[in-house]
Amino acid sequence: MIPMVDLKRQYARLKSRIDKALGEALEQTQFILGPNVGKLEEEVAAYHKLTHAVGCANGTDALLLALRACGIGPGDEVITTPFTFIATAEVAAQIGARAVFVDICPDTFNIDPDKIEAKITPRTKAIVPVHLFGHPADMDAICAIAKKHGLFVIEDCAQAFGATYRGQAVGTFGDTGCFSFFPSKNLGCYGDGGIVITGSEPLAAKVKMLRNHGSAVRYYHSEVGYNSRLDELQAAILRVKLPEIDEANDARRANAAAYCAALAGGDILLPSERPDCRHVYHQFTLRVKNRQTVADALAAAGIASAVYYPVPLHRQDVFVRMYGPQESLPVAEACAAEVLSLPMFPELTPEEIRRITDVIRNVRF
């Protein structure tokens, strides 16, 4: 069986270092906001050449805390993509704001900047671009629109740690960058975890307060906050993995190149990488007309595949109930009907890629 991601191989490679880091953390017995959390925050901030990083419980909370820190709340609108995991829009609804969906670019699966301004209203407070599957969104255009209209930019970088746009790391263009450390992510822990990065001292202070029950000073609470602290043991694991994230991303890129070379010239739309972007291939996602036939052939050969995402957010029952019938977003809808993601992780071998691509090439299109 070839899985979508093989965390056992990763752990086997890092076992001695991870076990040592966990043992030291257990010996220290500082489990809540302990030294590993503080050091990881410093290291993630330094990696991004920013002044602040604030760990939190998961990537969804990273987005939620960032929205709250920017003062977004009931009655406000947040512009985002319909082609992403529900967390991106879910957090807006949780604080009484409304997610306004804009169609996507067919080559990158990311929000189409040319369609954003038509959705801006007096209630719009932020744009939340998603760097989907590890490909950076068009941040120059998005930030220019945000500046013109006085909007916050909150980057959803859950799938894109280490990706760059014009040589600059994603998460550093907007007011905040929000990351997930879910185990399958290209930088993942062995549980839940997330982090918010920013160059703003006031935003960092607000996120830090909100993650800890709205408290900046123990037992003194200025706002209703959350219990959203990054776990010390997960931080220890991430500190082992962080120094080799660029190497791991390079391996993903090499695997993607091997996939593309083997599948070129057929009736499959392969992932693209725009000039001046560094795609980190959290997922390797094709577009194919007879998706189920391909998925069935892979499954019969013991090879996993997955559909990210079968239903765009503007068509999800929950948002149709909340916002009423939504206009068609044809690119997102077409992508949702055709996308198929193949196994992708740094330890994937050339032989496994050959097995996978051989199966796909033998499918009748």
pTM of the model: 0.97
Query: For 111-122, what is the mean pLDDT?
Result: 98
Q: Per the omega criterion (within 30 degrees of 0), is the bond before 165 cis?
A: no
Q: Where in the chain is the domain with CATH 3.90.1150.10?
A: 244-361
pLDDT the model gives residue 200: 98
Q: What is the 3-state secondary structure (H, E, C) of 220-283?
A: EECCCCCECCCEHHHHHHHHHHHHHHHHHHHHHHHHHHHHHHHHCCCCCECCCCCCCEECCCCC
Please provide residue 340's backbone torsions phi and psi, each rounded to the nearest 5 degrees: -150, 125
pLDDT the model gives residue 120: 98
Contact 103, 315 (CB under 8 A): no
pLDDT the model gives residue 107: 96
Read off the pLDDT of residues 28-46 as tens digits, 9 standing for 90 and up. Answer: 999 999 999 999 999 999 9
Q: What is the dihedral of CA 201, 202, 203, 205, to 10 degrees?
A: 80
Structure-token match 């909007």, residue found: 151
Picking from 133, 128, 139, 146, the residue whose alpha carbon sits closest to that of residue 170 is 139
pLDDT the model gives residue 266: 81
Alpha-carbon distances of 171 from 43, 155, 160, 186, 358, rounded to whole Å: 15, 6, 9, 15, 37
Banded pLDDT at 77 (limits 50, 70, 90): very high
Contact 152, 78 (CB under 8 A): no
pLDDT the model gives residue 340: 98
Q: Which CATH number fits domain 244-361: 3.40.50.150, 3.40.50.1700, 3.20.20.80, 3.90.1150.10?
A: 3.90.1150.10
**CA angle 356–1–245, rounded 5-degree value:** 75
Whether 364 shows a pLDDT value over 80: the answer reads no
What kind and span of H or E run contains 153? Answer: strand 152-156
Q: β-pairing, 164-165 with 168-169? A: antiparallel
Question: What is the average pLDDT value for the chain, to the nearest integer?
Answer: 97
Read off the pLDDT of residues 200-236 as tens digits, 9 standing for 90 and up. Answer: 999 999 999 999 999 999 999 999 999 999 999 999 9
Query: For 305-321, what is the mean pLDDT?
Result: 98
User: How does 218-244 read in b/e, with b if 16+ C-beta sit within 10 Å?
Assistant: eeeeeeebbebbbbbbbbbbbbbbbeb
| Annotation: CATH topology of 7-243 | Aspartate Aminotransferase; domain 2 (3.40.640)
